[in-house]
Structures are given as structure tokens and as C-alpha cells.
Amino acid sequence: MMTLERGYRRRRWLNRLMLALCGGAAGLAIIVLALILGYTLAHGISALSLDFLTQAARPVGEAGGGMRNEIIGTFILVLLGSALALPVGLMAGIFLAEFASPRVAAAVQFAADILAGVPSIVVGVFAYAILVRPMHSYSALSAGVALAIIMMPVVARTAEESLRLVPISMREAALALGITRWRSVVGVVVPGALTGIITGIMLAIARIAGETAPLIFTALGNNFSFQGILKPITALPLQIYRYAMSPYPEQNQQAWAGAFLLILLVLGISILVRWISGRKQV
């Protein structure tokens, strides 16, 4: 009786201990995010202002100045990358889910997964070799291509997975109406998978918005506003990188503010994704 009681007590304590450990681990993940947010905010808050969003960068020594050009640059690069990657990625996803034979699909999936796993700096060097060198200029275009290469496999795979979730009965119902394969995919299957596809696109955008390494080799960065897609362009991550390395405390501060802004951007996209995917499940 006595030993049973003791054994029970021991088990109860062990149970509580493990529960606390698991809870602590879960809490740690949230704490890290809170720390990053708090730390960047605390350091950048003094530089955060309306001017920070609307003013261009100023030379060292001059007070004020902001990251307007960088915000616009990031926006343009994301747009460029998406414009290049979305058509290819979505079509590839549709091909994988709807038209490819299992063997071809397996090969393409494997290739896409490898491509998604290629370190982003390698993608940057690649874009440098195929675009920057031949064109003799760093450019927004080459950065857009690099970002598109990163984005494409992510979009293709998430689109494919979302499309596969649409029941076969929907495809058959469409075909039985005398609708061609392609029209049934566009008119019935893709709308059914739209939530998942958009979620995948948003996550891919969040990913490329924060990429820095490929931009170093392609966009280069500059101190001016947008000058065309064949000219160097600046972006938030690039400017954060440069300002964070700077010996001037004002620039360090601006780097913190920029970092906070970038986190907010990605966080905003993630929240948007949750909202979209939670809104309507088909």
C-alpha cells in the first residue's frame, strides 16, 4: 500500500515536470519572437517616425532621413520576383497536380524541392553570372530573377498540394459535363484550391521580402530612388545590412528601425495568410 502510494506520487511529479518542460519549450518559441520584436523596437524606436517612412536616406552627419527608397525598392523587387515566378510556379503546380504522369511528377517534385533548398547566396551568384556579368551592370531585374528563382519552387509545390486536395469527384463532375480538361482545371479545380494557393503565394512573398544574400550580388543597392529595372536598386534588407555595419550610431539606429519594419512586414503577411486560410475552407 505504502509503496503504491509512493510510486503514484513519483509518477504525478514526473507528469508535472514533463508538462512544465513542454510548456516551457513552447513558451520559449514565443519568447524568442517577443524578444526579437521588443529588442528591434527598443533600439529602433527613436528612429521610427513618419519621416523614416517618407524621407530618402541622407548623408552621414545630416540629421533625419529615412528608408523611403528602400521600402519602394523592396516593393518593386517583390513585385518583379512575383511577376516572374508566379506564372511559372502556378503553371508548374497545375501541371504537377493535374497533367503529369506519376513518374514525371516525382522527378519534377524532386527537382523543385532541391531548388527550394539551394542556399539563397548561390542563387544570387547564379543571377550575377547569367545577368549581371553579361549586362555589365547590377540591376533590379537581375535581383528580381534571383528572387523569382527562390520563389518559384515554393509556389509550385504549395499550389500542387492545394490542387491535390480538391476531390477527384469534382474533376469528374466537370468532365462529365463535356468540359475540356483545361477548362475544368481553370473553372472548377483552381477555384476550389484558391485559398491554399494564395496562402502559398503569400508565404513565398514573405520569404523573398526578407532575402538579403542574393541582393548583394544583383541589386547592389544605391542611394537614390527607383531608376529603372536595369539600374541598381536598394532594398530594406540591403540597407539594414549596410547601416548595421556602419560606424555611425545614427545609421545603426536606422538599421534597427528598418529591421523592425521588415519584421512587421513579414508578420503582417503571416497574419494575412492566417486570415485567408482560416476564412473559408473548401
Partner 1 sequence: MEGKQNMVKEQREDTGGSCGWEKTTDYREGEKGILEVQDVSAWYSGTLAIKHISMSIPAQAITAIIGPSGCGKSTFIRCLNRMHEVSHGGRVEGCILLDGRDIYARDIDPVAIRRRIGMVFQKPTPFPTMSIFDNVAAGLRLTRLWSRRWELEEVVERSLRQAALWDEVKDKLNQSGASLSGGQQQRLCIARALAVEPEIILLDEPCSALDPAATLKIEDLMRNLAEHYTLVIVTHNMQQAARVSDMAAFFLADSDRAGMLVECGKTSQLFTNPRDKRTEDYITGRFG
Using CB under 8 A, list all residues that contact partner 1: 169-180, 183-184, 187-188, 191-192, 194, 282
Minimum gap (Å) between residue 100 Cβ and partner 1 = 12
Closer to partner 1 at the Cβ: 192 or 258?
192
Cell of 96: 504537377
Q: What are phi and psi of 226, to 5 degrees?
A: -55, 130
- Tell me the closest approach of the beta carbon of residue 190 to partner 1, in angstroms: 9
Query: Of the candidates 236, 242, 235, 239, which has an alpha carbon nearest to the alpha carbon of residue 261?
Result: 236
CB of residue 181 to partner 1, shortest distance in Å: 8
Answer positive or negative: Cα dihedral of 29, 33, 34, 35: positive
> How many Cα atoms are found within 13 Å in the side-chain-facing hemisphere of 181?
6
Task: State in angstroms the smallest separation of the CB of 185 from partner 1.
Answer: 10
| Minimum CB distance to partner 1 smaller for 122 or for 170 | 170
Nearer to partner 1 among residue 109 and residue 246 (C-beta): 109
Cα torsion 271, 159, 185, 173 to 10°: value is: -80
Which parts of the chain are beta strand (E)? none
Collapsing DSSP to helix, strand or coil, 46 comes out as coil
The residues, any chain, with a CB within 8 Å of residue 27's CB and separated by 6 or more, are: none
What is the closest distance, in whole angstroms, from the C-beta atom of residue 179 to partner 1 in the complex?
5
Q: Which is nearer to partner 1, 72 or 175 (CB)?
A: 175
> What are the counts of helices (DSSP H) followed by strands (DSSP E) for the chain?
13, 0
| Minimum CB–partner distance for residue 42 and partner 1 (Å) | 46
Do residues 214 and 270 make contact, with C-beta atoms less than 8 angstroms apart? Answer: no
Our CB check for partner 1 shows the closer of 136 and 280 to be 280
**Residue nearer to partner 1 on the CB measure, 178 or 249:** 178
Tell me which residue of 255, 208, 188 sits closest to 79, measured CA to CA.
208
Question: In terms of CB distance, is 102 or 228 closer to partner 1?
Answer: 102
CA 247 – CA 244 distance, rounded (Å): 8
Report which of 252, 255, 218, 222 is spatially closest to residue 237, judged by C-alpha positions: 255
Q: Smallest distance from the beta carbon of 104 to partner 1, in angstroms?
A: 14
